Amino acid sequence: QVQVVESGGGLVQPGGSLRLSCATTGSIGRIYGMGWHRQAPGKQRELVASILSVGTTNYADSVKGRFTISRDNAKNTVYLQMNSLKPEDTAVYYCRIFSSTAIPWGQGTQVTVSS
């Protein structure tokens, strides 16, 4: 019953922008933070950005300065604004809720950066 639904992905040219959204449904226990992961073909899933309940944000070096994570606590939604996209950003993006409640991975949203 508890799930996450990612959206906002698509095909963009290098240098373009996308805004990903992750909506959560169901009753979730205490939330310690939220994060965005991505998995490119042939690579391991990696944490791209996170935001803790206290508001602290963290970014992978590869996206620092280009991506911005934010949240809407009232809607239990987390966003990822992606600017200056590069082909290396091509991946399936997943959101993750850091909580005592076990929440399975969603389907993710495909981001493809290509000219």
Position with higher pLDDT, 86 vs 54: 86
pLDDT digits (tens, 9 = 90+) for 18-69: 999 999 888 888 889 999 999 999 999 999 999 998 899 999 999 999 999 9
44 by Cβ neighbours in 10 Å (0-12 / 13-18 / 19+) ranks as: exposed
Average pLDDT, integer, range 59-84:
94
Cα distances from 34 to residues 11, 14, 56, 84, 113, in angstroms, run 25, 27, 11, 23, 24
pLDDT at 100: 85
d(CA 20, CA 49): 12
pLDDT at 74: 81
Q: Does pLDDT of 1 surpass 80?
A: no
